[in-house]
Amino acid sequence: MERVNYFLNITNHPSNKWSGEQTAAALGMAREIAEFGFPNIDPHATAEEVMARAVNTAIGISNSYHSAVVLIQGESNFAFALASILRRHYKYRVYAATSERIAVTNEDGTITKSFKFVQFREYIF
């Protein structure tokens, strides 16, 4: 895959908090990471309202980021709609991050959970 200008991060997880492995994987695909931020999606919104938000977001992305791959993770309906629009209408490659969940039982019986980045997986349509 040819390296693009931007790895666009549309999540609630800022890239400055990513592991070195995740940052390196993103920079393997793009020259720089750009933060877009996942919008707050009203849980009471209708499907039509969510779709309209996805359309408007896709238009904004296409106007600002001409050479990009996109990481989208967040509210499921919006994420799927946005990923579909960006891929189908604007030909962006769209990814989700995968991770391994690690649960450790502490001496006091409590459980500590963490996640280890594994890869960026392209959305499957």
Q: For residue 116, what is the domain's CATH number?
A: 3.40.50
Sign of the Cα torsion 6, 57, 12, 119 reads: negative
Domain extent for 22: 4-122
pLDDT tens digit string along 8-65? 999 999 999 999 999 999 999 999 999 998 999 999 999 999 999 999 999 999 999 9
Q: What mean pLDDT value characterizes the chain?
A: 96
pLDDT computed for residue 76 by the predictor: 96
pTM for the model stands at: 0.91
End-to-end CA distance of the chain: 19
Residue 1 has pLDDT above 80, yes or no: no
Query: Which strands make up the sheet holding 68-72, listed edge to edge?
Result: 30-35, 4-10, 68-72, 93-105, 111-122
**Residue found under tokens 């720089």:** 32
Q: How many domains does the chain have?
A: 1
User: Residue 8: exposed, middle, or buried by beta-carbon count in 10 A (0-12, 13-18, 19+)?
Assistant: buried
Residue 125 has pLDDT above 90, yes or no: no
